[in-house]
Structure 1
Amino acid sequence: MFLWTDPDVEVIVVDNGSSDETLTELPNKYPSVKLINAKEDSGFGAGCNLGAEAALGEYLFFLNPDTLVSQGALRELISPLEFDPSIGMTTPKILQLDHPTRINTCGNDVHLSGLALCRGMNEEARKFTLTEDVNSISGAAFAIKKDYFFELGAFDPVFFLYVEDTDLSLRCLLNGKRIVYVPNSVIYHDYKLTFGPKKIYYQERNRNYMLQKLFSKNTLHSLAPVLCVADFMTWGFCILHGKREIQNKLDAKKWLRENQAQIMQRRETVIKSQKVPDARVVTLLGWKIDFKQTVSPFPAFFLNSFFSPLYYCLKKWIG
């Protein structure tokens, strides 16, 4: 997990219902590591929340288990949080572990539809050298003050899998804080794009749940053309990939219909911490979708040629 770390760092590992030897081997190999046994897999966000609650430090650094941390990365990531109160979260330059000269992500790009993509994916590692604001952290590695993490409401455990980092990021922006990309903090991530049996279900359910939870009805109405195009696009993907993905899409819509009361309760919680109009946050969201991150280059070219101009026009129309 660690290529390098500072001696005063408290390391907490949450075992989220694993079936391997983590619970028996980790204490013997790394006795200084605090191990939390979640006993069952309650999801990515809930597991992270357990670790955050147990942490004693002022700052939290969330890290996926399939990562390596370069020397000084943690100090670089924490430093902006120490000296600039306008910053809510920081996110590092994440490189691909098996191709370290290539970028995995330099903070994520959140699209108007709620889709989040890796910023700079497969670009050369020497690029993206400026410290700059982004509209989302990557859940693979990011830093935040512990008090502020819980002030925002921590990770929403309803998501279970996928979109938690986007949701937390947008709540940070709605709270009036900035998210800053720190290029001198370098992490290596064993990133693989896969489509498991339930990925489409969780991504579609969670993306729409997030939008309904975070944004007012007026904002959602203004985004309606964008969301309709995104729905058309994802339906096309599901139809092309067969019965399983069609069922996943239908199940996601069913969950959203059946859980409107819960979504509205969560909406009330978001409103309590909101300091910036959600319409202003929408202006920070992008109109481009890099389809090369989801499909092979040939169809990606045609998808980009059609959808990019369409989303650009919709972005201008929304204002």
Structure 2
Amino acid sequence: MQDLLNELTLVTVTYNSAKVLPAHIASFRDTASAAMPRWIVVDNASTDATDEIAAANSDCVEMIKCKENLGFGSACNIGIKASNTRYVMVLNPDTQLSEAAIDQLLTEIKAHGAAIAGPALRPEQDTSVVKVPWLVGAVLLFDTQLMDSVGYFDEQFFLYVEDVDICKRANDAGLDVIHCRHISIPHIGGGSTVRTKAVYEFIHFHRGRSYVLYAQKHGLPDEHIELYMKKNTKRCVIALFSFGLARYRRARAKLRGARSVLNA
């Protein structure tokens, strides 16, 4: 097991993640039977206690501090570039790790000769390992010997769709992306950053922006974007008449994000 972990670097991306980071670090540290692999925390200019938490756990993690919030994909790329191992696992800080799960995922990516592997993010009865078009970016394990020729995250995606894009590019290059459903690395979801009204609007702005960027990059028909705009315009109208202010703000933010690309 330790020989496998010696070939691995972990990269966790944080942004105001103090609420979840201690449990994230402890989940692996408390299950480790021997020396842990190198673990890099790339922080997107957090203003909470994330720095202090990383410093308090300097025995097992090291921090790279960004001067501004660069987004998920850009921060992942910084961690990947700083690594010097064949395998790199990028992580959200609201995931719960274990040595056994990480070891199993490494075993599977090697056995299948895959470029990217991901676990089940919630318990599943299915125990298969299947090739898939994309994986959720909360936990992605890369074989850098295969992925170096493809490249890593497209930094025009600040948030969202960067996981779909990188998996599509791997598949398009003839490389395998596998979902290991028998391996569980739980993901809380939405726990990476404290959710305020401003954060929610920021998130949905980038949902809309990334949708259009992806559609344009991969040549999806214009009808896809038109339908997306119509659906969210309709949601705005319905939300206003039904006093659904939160729904209105989400749809409006998506439209703003989409238009930031379309009107550029």
| Superposition TM-score tier, normalisation by shorter sequence | 0.7 to 0.9
Instruction: Give the aligned residue type for 1:55.
Output: S
SS at match of 1:180: strand
**Structure 1 residues 127 and 236, CA gap change in structure 2 (3 angstroms):** farther
The aligned length equals 223
Instruction: Give the aligned residue type for 1:135.
Output: P
Name the CA distance, whole Å, in 1 between partners of 2:137 and 2:47. 23
State the TM-score, normalized to the length of structure 2.
0.74
Aligned to 2:140: 142
State the TM-score, normalized to the length of structure 1.
0.62
Name the CA distance, whole Å, in 2 between partners of 1:207 and 1:147. 29
Q: Residues 75-224 of structure 1 correspond to what in structure 2 (within 5 A)?
A: 75-85=103-113, 87-95=114-122, 125-192=123-190, 196-215=200-219, 220-221=220-221
Aligned to 1:256: 261
Kindly indicate whether the alpha-carbon contact (under 8 Å) linking 1:92 and 1:181 is maintained by their aligned counterparts in 2.
yes
Q: Describe the superposition over 1:39-72 as per-residue Cα deviations: whole angstroms up to 9, x where unpaired.
A: 2111111111111111121101111111111341
Q: Describe the superposition over 1:185-227 as per-residue Cα deviations: whole angstroms up to 9, x where unpaired.
A: 2112222497811333211221121121123xxxx34xx5555
SS at match of 2:156: helix
Kindly indicate whether the alpha-carbon contact (under 8 Å) linking 1:73 and 1:184 is maintained by their aligned counterparts in 2.
no
Name the CA distance, whole Å, in 2 between partners of 1:252 and 1:29. 37
**Structure 1 residues 61 and 71, CA gap change in structure 2 (3 angstroms):** same
Instruction: Give the aligned residue type for 2:257.
Output: A
Aligned to 2:102: 74
**Structure 1 residues 198 and 126, CA gap change in structure 2 (3 angstroms):** closer
Structure 2 unaligned regions, length at least 5: 1-23, 241-247
SS at match of 1:7: coil
SS at match of 2:181: strand
Name the CA distance, whole Å, in 2 between partners of 1:64 and 1:245. 23
Aligned to 1:12: 40
Name the CA distance, whole Å, in 2 between partners of 1:25 and 1:229. 44
Q: Which of 52, 56, 65 is 2:84 aligned to?
A: 56
Name the CA distance, whole Å, in 1 between partners of 2:117 and 2:251. 37
Moved more, 233-242 or 174-183: 233-242
Aligned to 2:20: none
